[in-house]
Structure 1
Amino acid sequence: MVVLDTTKIKDINLSLSERPAIPTPEQDTEHIDIRGRHGSLTKKYGFKDIPYSLTFDFLEDTPFKQAFRKAKIVFFKAKKLSFEDDPDIFYMIKSVEIEDALNDVLEYGQFTVNFTLAPFAFEVTKLITITSQTTLTNAGYESEPYIKAYAAGTGKIYIGNQVVTVKDINGFIEIDSTMMNAYRKENGLITNLNNHMIGDFPVLVEGKNIIKFDGNITKLEIDPRWRWI
């Protein structure tokens, strides 16, 4: 059964027309033919967004048109798509297109929703507090974590061979590798702190990631944002 954010489709009187396929992203790949070379030269880039369509049936005691209008609001507002039989995984919704509904009978209707999903299947994760050297093991694909570093001055964060320096921090700095942004959000206000960070935005590679810090950093909070293809 489909879940949109926290709303189960059965709660808006919908059901799937058939069991859904499991989405998989397509990798952006380039094949270049070079004269004199056996086979093509292959370059692999990132993964593409996932086009994903689901068809829903509506069986209800009230007229379909009214219920369809209410259901569309839920679809267009949703940011996450998940399934009840795999509750620890979700997909990020980038856009939604709803096709015209079939409504041959007053209290019956069917319609198809065309989603554009971000390329990865994400695990539901929680913040991990790190106060000393820690190893995080990534069983999936390389992830782009969120890191909150508490500091009273300058220090370095080490993730495997990656080094990030945070400087002149009074309180904390938030590092979002997905958004490629360093900032502080406090009391509803966002302060840009990109000039207080030196280094590339870190990733958590497949396998073991040894994490430690030094200087005036006192602790880290990390959302690993584990993801799969």
Structure 2
Amino acid sequence: MLSFDFGGKNSWDNFGILIAGRPDIPSPKRRVNTINIPGRDSDLRFDENTYDDIILTVECSVKDTHNLPDKIDDIKAWLFTAGESDLIFSFQPDKKYIAQVVNAIDFKQVYKYFSEFPVIFNCRPFKYAVENDMMNIISSGTAVMNPGTVESEPVMNIYGSGDIVLKVNDEQISFKGVTEKIIVNSVIQDCYDDAGNNLNAKMAGEFLKLKPGENIIEWSGDVVKAELLPNWRWL
């Protein structure tokens, strides 16, 4: 039985929604700007190395012999109040989209007790690992394998003090005057402590990214250990 989890509920288990088939999965459009220059062959291309959101349409139907209008109200309330939530399809339970229903849903009553409707999800460009467990890194020079197909944007907790230099592959980040712990969040591109105090002034360099395949994480300075929330991603 095809189904999807969204906003902490399952389409079949909680609402008895039937899915016509697997939705088409588009690839995200890469943002590349072009400039036409007279007298020059081809266009100049400026690759932003970013992607647009994608749209997933799931063709659904529901049956209720007791009170179909109330069932439809429950489905609408679920889909629209969930906001931006994890979307997991039963045919790929180890990966998730970060999605939101933003379009109106057209419930078409086919029979007295039967309604068909499309659910249109606006999704961030990538799929993410459902299991996104914190990794402990206890020594400099540790190799971390990225199983995804694009760079991940991790969150890293660094435990230590004083001046610290962190190196991931060929990229280097410097931290000044660390006291106990500093959090480097590449998702929101922010640096802070456990209390939420902004520590961007203590950091110099680009935020971490982990390429597909092997990544070597090294550091110098008084570092006790590091923790990595990897956020693996796939196109």
Give the structure-2-normalised TM-score: 0.87
Aligned twin of 2:215: 209
1:26 and 2:29 aligned: yes
Which of 72, 75, 81 is the matching residue for 1:68? Answer: 72
Aligned twin of 1:178: 187
Q: What is the count of residue pairs matched by the alignment?
A: 226
- Indicate how the Cα distance of structure 1 residues 147 and 95 shifts in structure 2: closer, same or farther if over 3 A, else same: farther
1:81 and 2:87 aligned: yes
Q: Which amino acid in 1 is paired with 2:70?
A: Q
Aligned twin of 1:195: 201
Q: Distance in 1 between matches of 2:175 and 2:113?
A: 60
Identity percentage of aligned residues: 27
1:105-120 matched pairs, under 5 angstroms = 105-120=111-126
Q: Distance in 1 between matches of 2:122 and 2:30?
A: 15
Residue 215 of structure 1: SS of its match in structure 2?
strand
What RMSD, in angstroms, separates the aligned Cα atoms of the two structures? Answer: 2.0
Q: Distance in 2 between matches of 1:176 and 1:137?
A: 19
Which of 165, 177, 186 is the matching residue for 1:156? Answer: 165
Tell me by how many angstroms 1:184 deviates: 2.5
Aligned twin of 1:98: 104
Q: Which amino acid in 1 is paired with 2:93?
A: P
Give the structure-1-normalised TM-score: 0.89
Q: Which amino acid in 2 is paired with 1:134?
A: T
Q: Which amino acid in 2 is paired with 1:40?
A: D
- Structure 2 gap ranges (5+): none
The structure where strand makes up a greater share of residues is: 1
Q: Distance in 2 between matches of 1:196 and 1:69?
A: 51
1:134 and 2:142 aligned: yes
Structure 1 runs of 4+ aligned residues shifted over 6 Å read none
Aligned twin of 1:40: 43
Residue 37 of structure 2: SS of its match in structure 1?
coil
Tell me by how many angstroms 1:104 deviates: 4.4
1:138–1:209 Cα contact (<8 Å) kept:
yes
Residue 71 of structure 1: SS of its match in structure 2?
helix
